[in-house]
Structure 1
Amino acid sequence: MSMSGLSAFSLNLLVYFLPITSAIVVLDFNRVETCKDSLYMGTPPRGIIDTKLKKICQWYADKPRYVTLYDPVKRIPVYSAYTFKKTEADRRVDYPWMYEPQLAENDGNGNMQPFPTGYLHMKFEDSQAVLDDYSDVVLYERGHLNPDQHQSTPQDRAATYTLTNVVPEIREFNIGPWREYEERIRIRLNNFCRGTAYIVTGVTTRGNMIRRNNQDRVAIPEDVWSAYCCTEYDRNSPHNVRIRFPSHAALAKNAKDGNSVHEMSLQELEIYLKNHMEVDQNFQIFYDNCISPSPLPIYLHHII
């Protein structure tokens, strides 16, 4: 190999092994080390069909925080996936709302940015929701998919305040049944999950949109769903808790009435979503359905 060829080969190797610190809109979550940490077994939900969706590694303060599958046409996330951090039930803090520059351009350092007080270029409005989309809407609030109360550090909490992590939720639903569910899960995982808990929270849609300036801007979810996976849990927990591990799920209508949150098995949720989302029959939220690894080697399984 010539010296010039060797130099080019060495440069390619260097680029290949450099840590990825600026690319946050990626081709595959499970091929980027910084994204994989938010996913059980480093694997995203499989079987989602739409090829126009954007895979975002949500970076804040030069660190990856969680991942989001984002629909730039509907301008809402399909889901956000994150690791639960044990927290106290402390008061929420107000953080500035942010947007994702990388959805509109490839330069920059890869971090989400606070909305400017002045002009925001139209190219950002074309690729994602902006504050004006929510400013004159009375019925809906910005509902987090990765909620701040499931995070512990101020920076992890601040990173949840990006419009690429929120959907329009009916106010009564957002501050009522869904917030109560998020708190119930916070307490359950705090008390009984002994390892890492992975959560995926998403939505279904039916075509209803928030409009601004006579244009469809932001899709309104019909359902909000969530599922968690924790394979290392307290095996001595009460029976009514133990049956909700290693995985469990929930589903609710994004509505003013009839919006109770129904907890169910992971498989029940997947069956529902196969009929209400653009997914194929191989749709699966967690790798291998979040089956707990057996503490016994395979050749000893016959004795139990």
Structure 2
Amino acid sequence: MMLLLLLLQVLASCLWLGHGEVVTSLISTCPQFFFQKTPPNAALTPQNPAWICQRYGNKYYFATLYDRSRRIPVYSAYLYQPGPGKRPNTWMVEPQLVGPNYPKTMEKEWTLLNHFKVSLEQLSKSQALLQDYKNLTGLNRGHLNPNGHHEDNSSRKATFTLTNIVPQDAKLNGGAWNNYEQQTMMRMTQGCNNTYVVVGAVPGKSYISNGRVNKPSFIWSSACCELGRNNTKAWGVIAENNRDEVELLTLGELEETLSLLYGRESVSLFHSACPRE
């Protein structure tokens, strides 16, 4: 009888991993967002992490490592597939950060509070809320994974979850960082068949919303693109989150910089087949 119960637990666990939103392993559920199915190493993992396969409707659109304590994403991983379309204006949250019995797809705050009877306190303990980003001075809601890097309305909407948002310097977000996202990425990815992106935020020492949400000290992004058979190129950028300036780096230089900023083991963002030089 005990063996049967154990087998049922294992089966339930496998089913959960296959379809969950907040998961124990990104590779088990949404490996398609990582080059060679290899996510960044553990050097970026915070003390209180959540791994999220970001699901909108019935489809996964990107992967996120979320810092539950600081209420910001550590990184988002996605495929660069820009296309025409309007900027959505609907903000959502992640129900399964509240608990595993809630929907596996992102929902509006209003929907969770009214249809699923989640309390505002429950929701606020699990993640950032819209009210955390109100009345900011010099900062705004900065996407890690930008909606403009996606090809259709659904994939763009999926980026409008607060687990993909950090308090970002308003001038940087609308200036040099926007220029990198829109212009530099387009130029750098010419000739690429597939471009894998990992974009992240280094936690800072200050917070917004009465200490609820961390303001990152740096925003960074990295890319590895497949040019053809066994031919790849890679690069990275980093920006201080109080200056309108973006520094273009090799992937190796970015990893070395992040290793110093995080102060732990050496950071590895991609599979070793991506060139570091």
The TM-score normalised by the length of structure 2 is 0.87
The offset of 1:289, in angstroms, is: 5.2
| In structure 2, C-alpha distance between the alignment counterparts of 1:123 and 1:19, rounded to whole Å | 22
Q: 1:218 to 1:46 in 2, by over 3 A?
A: same
| In structure 2, C-alpha distance between the alignment counterparts of 1:128 and 1:38, rounded to whole Å | 23
* Alignment of 1:77 onto 2:76: no
One-letter amino acid of the structure 2 residue matched with residue 157 of structure 1:
R
Residue matched to 1:143: 142
* Alignment of 1:53 onto 2:53: no
| Partner SS for 2:213 | strand
* Alignment of 1:286 onto 2:276: no
Q: Percent identity?
A: 32
| In structure 2, C-alpha distance between the alignment counterparts of 1:87 and 1:189, rounded to whole Å | 16
| Partner SS for 2:223 | strand
Residue matched to 1:44: 39
Q: 1:84 to 1:137 in 2, by over 3 A?
A: same
**Residue by residue, what CA displacement relative to the aligned partner does 1:96-141 show, whole Å, maximum 9, x if unpaired?**
1000111111112300101218775211101110001011113211
Mapping of residues 157-236 of structure 1, within 5 Å: 157-188=156-187, 191-194=190-193, 196-211=194-209, 215-232=210-227
One-letter amino acid of the structure 1 residue matched with residue 200 of structure 2:
G
Residue matched to 2:97: 103
Q: 1:18 to 1:102 in 2, by over 3 A?
A: closer
The TM-score normalised by the length of structure 1 is 0.80
The offset of 1:11, in angstroms, is: 5.5
The offset of 1:231, in angstroms, is: 2.4
| In structure 2, C-alpha distance between the alignment counterparts of 1:116 and 1:9, rounded to whole Å | 39
The offset of 1:279, in angstroms, is: 3.3
Aligned length: 270
Q: 1:168 to 1:232 in 2, by over 3 A?
A: same
* Alignment of 1:250 onto 2:250: no
Deviates more, 1:198-207 or 1:79-88: 79-88
**Residue by residue, what CA displacement relative to the aligned partner does 1:177-233 show, whole Å, maximum 9, x if unpaired?**
100000124413553212x2110000112211003xxx3111111111000001225
**4+ runs of 1 displaced by more than 6 Å?**
4-10
Q: 1:141 to 1:13 in 2, by over 3 A?
A: closer
The offset of 1:51, in angstroms, is: 3.7
* Alignment of 1:29 onto 2:26: yes
The offset of 1:22, in angstroms, is: 4.0
Residue matched to 1:124: 123
| In structure 1, C-alpha distance between the alignment counterparts of 2:109 and 2:92, rounded to whole Å | 5
RMSD value, Cα: 2.7
Deviates more, 1:134-143 or 1:12-21: 12-21
Does the CA-based 8 Å contact 1:22-1:108 persist in structure 2? no
Does the CA-based 8 Å contact 1:233-1:246 persist in structure 2? no
| In structure 2, C-alpha distance between the alignment counterparts of 1:253 and 1:7, rounded to whole Å | 55
One-letter amino acid of the structure 2 residue matched with residue 176 of structure 1:
G
| In structure 2, C-alpha distance between the alignment counterparts of 1:252 and 1:139, rounded to whole Å | 16
| Partner SS for 1:280 | coil
**Residue by residue, what CA displacement relative to the aligned partner does 1:74-107 show, whole Å, maximum 9, x if unpaired?**
110011111111424x5x3233100011111111
**Structure whose alpha-carbon radius of gyration is higher:** 1
Does the CA-based 8 Å contact 1:87-1:190 persist in structure 2? no
Segments of structure 1 that go 5 or more residues without pairing to the other structure are 236-241, 293-304
| In structure 2, C-alpha distance between the alignment counterparts of 1:192 and 1:86, rounded to whole Å | 14
One-letter amino acid of the structure 1 residue matched with residue 26 of structure 2:
F
| Partner SS for 2:226 | coil
| In structure 2, C-alpha distance between the alignment counterparts of 1:113 and 1:68, rounded to whole Å | 16
